[in-house]
């Protein structure tokens, strides 16, 4: 249990901040300079993964090491769902957090990684409370919404935040005997269901990801209960990445203050183009990955 405290402890330190996807040293330095609390080291941002097709895998170690060398803030990296060997490589490289991510092509269509096997903390995506609690029962120390990565469209992250929040609220109103049945319906362990019912929140930090493209998107996620935001393609696919990165950081820290938010939304250039979720074919929806 003491180890879990170190894992969720680092997530506590990232709260209220912005975690940015970066693909090289230059982008990592821009992210750090703009006030990011951590970076996610990738070979391609999600919108490019979507465009290029093919199998998306863990980033090459030399890219990750170069980014770790460049910045003093924590560095995260992604492993494919179920690919515990990629996770072992990332742990050996010394990354600070591993994202078992649906953005990469899954390596296992039945099982996720047993994250208790690792000292490095894991973050996993979830669309609903059952999925979040299954990931926590496998050892995830942070949950993020899946949203729809690389879409530049906030609608799915909003759906997932609201879905999880509504399900948590429902649990807090239930009697003990109802929780047993609800645990069955959620496909989640009763013990975790009981904890959530009692505390009214997830037992690990809950962050937002997938489709955040503007300062106002980030603020919306914070209002809906996200404790930190991940911005993937949104920053470096915009017309003026450094300016937008600064604005998203400022907006996240001051999300309750409309005056500051209005200032953040001015002169940030053109955000990434974005996709209509309803025009994505089922196989193009990255959020469907994960079990």
Partner 1 sequence: MRIGILALQGAVEPHAEKLRSRGAEVVEVRLTRDLADIAGIILPGGESTAMIKILHKNKLWEDLKAFTATRPSWGVCAGAILLARKVTSPEQASLDAIDVEIERNAFGRQKDSFIGDLVSTPSWPKEPVSGVFIRAPRIRATGPDVQVLLKWGDEPVMVRSGKTLLSTFHPELTDGTQVHDYFLSFCQP
Asked if 74 interacts with partner 1 (CB under 8 A), we say yes
DSSP code string of the chain: -HHHHHHHHHHHHHTTSEEEEESSHHHHHHHHHTT-SEEEE-SS-HHHHHHH-S---PPPHHHHHHHHHH-SS-EEEEEETT-HHHHHHHHHHT-SEEEEETTSPPS-SS----GGG-SS-EEEEESSHHHHHHHHHTT-SEEEE---TTS--THHHHHHHHHHHHHHHHHHT--HHHHHHHHHHHTS-HHHHHHHHHHSS-SS-EEB-SS--SHHHHHHHHHTT-SSEEESHHHHTSSSHHHHHHHHHHHHHTTT-HHHHHHHHTT--PPP----GGGS-GGG-GGG---
HSE-up of residue 210 (Cα within 13 Å, Cβ side): 29
Q: Which residues pair with 38 in a beta bridge?
A: 19
Asked if 91 interacts with partner 1 (CB under 8 A), we say yes
Q: Which is nearer to partner 1, 74 or 150 (CB)?
A: 74
- Min dist. Cβ of residue 141 to partner 1 (A): 11
Q: Which is nearer to partner 1, 205 or 290 (CB)?
A: 205
Q: Which of 25, 29, 65, 96 binds partner 1 (CB under 8 A)?
A: 96
Are 231 and 271 in contact, with CB atoms under 8 Å apart?
no
Q: Which of 7, 78, 115, 237 is an active site residue? A: 78
The whole-angstrom separation of Cα 232 and Cα 279 is 21
Asked if 61 interacts with partner 1 (CB under 8 A), we say no
- Min dist. Cβ of residue 279 to partner 1 (A): 36
Asked if 173 interacts with partner 1 (CB under 8 A), we say no
Segment interacting with partner 1 (CB under 8 A) among 54-62, 129-137, 188-196, 251-259: 251-259
Q: Which of 27, 47, 120, 151 binds partner 1 (CB under 8 A)?
A: 120
Q: Which is nearer to partner 1, 107 or 123 (CB)?
A: 123
Asked if 262 interacts with partner 1 (CB under 8 A), we say no
- Min dist. Cβ of residue 171 to partner 1 (A): 20
Q: Known catalytic residue: 115? A: no
Segment interacting with partner 1 (CB under 8 A) among 87-95, 102-110, 169-177, 275-283: 87-95
- Min dist. Cβ of residue 225 to partner 1 (A): 13
- Min dist. Cβ of residue 59 to partner 1 (A): 17
Segment interacting with partner 1 (CB under 8 A) among 7-15, 59-67, 169-177, 270-278: 7-15
Q: Which residues are catalytic?
A: 78
Tell me which residues touch partner 1 (CB under 8 A). Answer: 2, 5-6, 9-10, 12-17, 32, 34-38, 68, 72-74, 91, 94-97, 119-121, 246, 249-250, 253-254, 257, 260
């Amino acid at each position: 249990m003491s180890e879990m405290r170190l894992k969720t402890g680092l997530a506590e330190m990232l709260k209220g901040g912005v975690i940015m996807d970066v693909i090289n040293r230059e982008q990592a330095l821009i992210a750090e300079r703009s006030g990011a609390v951590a970076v996610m080291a990738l070979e391609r941002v999600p919108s490019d993964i979507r465009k290029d097709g093919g199998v998306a895998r863990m980033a090459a170690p030399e890219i990750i090491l170069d980014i770790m060398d460049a910045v003093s803030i924590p560095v995260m990296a992604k492993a494919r769902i179920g690919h515990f060997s990629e996770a072992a490589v990332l742990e050996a490289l010394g990354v600070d957090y591993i994202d078992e991510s649906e953005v990469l092509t899954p390596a296992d269509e039945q099982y996720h990684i047993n994250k208790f096997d690792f000292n490095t903390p894991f973050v996993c995506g979830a669309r609903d409370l059952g999925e979040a609690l299954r990931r926590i029962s496998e050892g995830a120390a942070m949950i993020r919404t899946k949203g729809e990565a690389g879409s530049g469209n906030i609608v799915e992250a909003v759906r997932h935040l609201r879905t999880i929040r509504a399900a948590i609220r429902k649990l807090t109103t239930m009697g003990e005997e109802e929780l047993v049945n609800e645990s069955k319906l959620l496909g989640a362990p009763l013990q975790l269901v009981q904890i959530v019912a009692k505390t009214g929140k997830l037992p690990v930090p809950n962050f937002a990801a997938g489709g955040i493209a503007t300062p106002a998107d980030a603020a919306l996620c914070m209002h809906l209960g996200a404790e930190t935001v991940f911005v993937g393609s949104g920053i470096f696919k915009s017309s003026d990445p450094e300016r937008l990165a600064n604005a998203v950081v400022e907006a996240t820290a001051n999300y309750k203050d409309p005056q500051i938010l209005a200032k953040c939304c001015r002169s940030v250039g053109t955000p990434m183009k974005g996709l209509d979720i309803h025009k994505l074919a089922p196989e193009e929806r990255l959020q469907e990955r994960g079990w």
